[in-house]
Structure 1
Amino acid sequence: MSNDPFAQLKAIQREGWSLFAPLEAVTTATAAELAKHARIRAGQVVLDVGCGTGVVALTAARAGAKVHALDLSPVLIQHGRQHAALAGVEIEFREGDVEALPFESSTFDVVVSQFGHMFAPRPDVTIAEMLRVLKPGGTIAFSTWPPEHYVGQMFALVGKFIPPPPGAAPPPQWGDPNIIRQRLGDAVADIVFDRSVMLFPALSPQHYRKGIEETLGPVVKLVATLKDDPAKLAAFRAELDGFVARYFENNVVRQHYLMTRGTKK
């Protein structure tokens, strides 16, 4: 990555997201929704980008697809390999960057990403790579966080305390259908959107906040950055607790998300 202007950002992401594994418990059900939305079926060759611990990859492999999975974090890749071994399915996991996919052009029938590719800093590079490795007539599908709902607003709150690096696109932009259409451009036809809700169990807003402080990359980074500024850290926590409370009911935090599907021309 020596010539990558965002090499330092990606190194930070690699470290921060290494703690994500416990959150697979709440992303497993949404993985099945994405696999269904992408219409993954037996015999297809599938790439899961930003695969994390492999919840979408595992779902696709259990459906009979031939699956490759890629993530920046070697820690999460190792979790994915363990899950695949336990399930008795074959998945080719590898460490890598969505902005420089290590695959030949027109390799995959389906390219998917669940809340993963949206964290790459350059959407134009990201989508160009995802489409490059997709076969003509193949399916691109992904889940993202709309800016107007809880997670998008939470990332905006994080950005108030630690602004993103100059030139890096805000991840929640990937949750806006208008922006998605612009980014996919003329290369993709038959774009379909669907919406759903992730239910995140929690005993209180504070319990939820403590959990994401220990597992969710951007929040992990923020807490580490503010550790020597207790007043500012307390202000962030108070604002986040109040914000979470608006989405907290019946011991779950409701997190709305968007699914997109399109066909490469």
Structure 2
Amino acid sequence: MDHDPFAELKKRQRELWASFGPTATSTTPVAAHLVKFAAIAPGDTVLDVATGTGVAAITAARAGARVKALDLTPELLAQAHENARIAGHEEIEWTEGDAEQLPYADASFDVVLSQFGHMFAPRPEVAIAEMRRVLKPGGRIAFATWPPEHMVGRMFAFVGRNSPPLPSGSAPPPQWGNLAVIAERLGARFDSPFFERGVMAYPSLSLSHYRLSMERTIGPLQKLVERLVSEPEKLAALRSEFDAMAEPYYYDNVVHQDYVLTRAHAI
């Protein structure tokens, strides 16, 4: 059997993101921004790709959309089910699946969303082709990503520098926050993208509280810390570097995490 490095990567991702739930809660204001930005209206058919705990999917359902949602990680989907039950939207259809191989028919949806999710699919061209395939002609794609020059984009670049390399042909997630790269990736499948920016406020009592929260809930950083537990000097240096990176974004007991929204129509 041929060795498939992407299958192995996705298996690791499925496991890595199981602890993300507590941090997903902080993205609920971004979900409201994204759903409004996507102009989701009652009756729209919506797919939320890499839904996590269902924050954007449930927000879209509350706006009157008919929603399906997909994620690699079963632990997050279990939390999404529970969130939907509490919110009174048990009609949402949840599926365990891959952004690079969407299990939906062509031209099924009016809107395809992704909130900080599809950016972790290793092959952007595959993920975008799939998201376009399931959109109706003239349908809308709308997603939130982290700019590489700001806190979260820098954090994932930091993790990437200190972790084993991705398989050949993979693209680092922060590239999805570069406006020129986004426009190039949407290419001939969509009209010219429209962008909007926002800042996600992550409350933290100190920089150390923030770092610890990230270490416990952001899978790639969690794995990096685990690898260095037996090397305390290296771990201390890594944490010091992280704190220095985060310090400019931390004031008024909040870490300010800039994000960018993208919207485009299928052509």
Q: Normalized against structure 2, the TM-score is what? A: 0.96
The one-letter code of the counterpart of 1:113 is: S
Supply the distance in 2 between the matched residues of 1:165 and 1:24 (Cα, whole angstroms): 24
- Which residue does 2:219 correspond to in 1? 217
Supply the distance in 2 between the matched residues of 1:114 and 1:158 (Cα, whole angstroms): 20
The one-letter code of the counterpart of 1:221 is: K
User: What CA deviation, in whole Å up to 9, does each residue of 1:44-66 have, x standing for no partner?
Assistant: 11000010000000000011100
- Which residue does 1:207 correspond to in 2? 209
The one-letter code of the counterpart of 1:125 is: V
Which residue of 230, 251, 254 corresponds with 1:252? 254
Deviation at 1:229, TM superposition (A): 2.3
Deviates more, 1:45-54 or 1:153-162: 153-162
Deviation at 1:166, TM superposition (A): 3.0
- Spell out the pairing of 1:125-204 with structure 2 (5 A cutoff): 125-167=126-168, 168-204=170-206
Supply the distance in 1 between the matched residues of 2:92 and 2:3 (Cα, whole angstroms): 30
- Which residue does 2:102 correspond to in 1? 101
Aligned residue pair count: 264
Report sequence identity in percent. Answer: 56
> Is 1:67 equivalent to 2:67 in the alignment?
yes
- Which residue does 2:112 correspond to in 1? 111
The one-letter code of the counterpart of 1:189 is: D
The change in CA–CA distance for 1:145 and 1:199 in structure 2 (over 3 A counts) is same
Supply the distance in 2 between the matched residues of 1:65 and 1:210 (Cα, whole angstroms): 37
- Which residue does 2:22 correspond to in 1? 22
Q: Normalized against structure 1, the TM-score is what? A: 0.97
- Any stretches of 5+ residues in structure 2 without a counterpart? none
Deviation at 1:190, TM superposition (A): 4.0
Which residue of 229, 241, 244 corresponds with 2:243? 241
What SS does the corresponding residue of 2:111 show, helix, strand or coil? strand
Supply the distance in 2 between the matched residues of 1:242 and 1:197 (Cα, whole angstroms): 20
Supply the distance in 1 between the matched residues of 2:137 and 2:127 (Cα, whole angstroms): 18
- Which residue does 1:31 correspond to in 2? 31
- Which residue does 2:266 correspond to in 1? 264
- Any stretches of 5+ residues in structure 1 without a counterpart? none
The one-letter code of the counterpart of 1:95 is: E
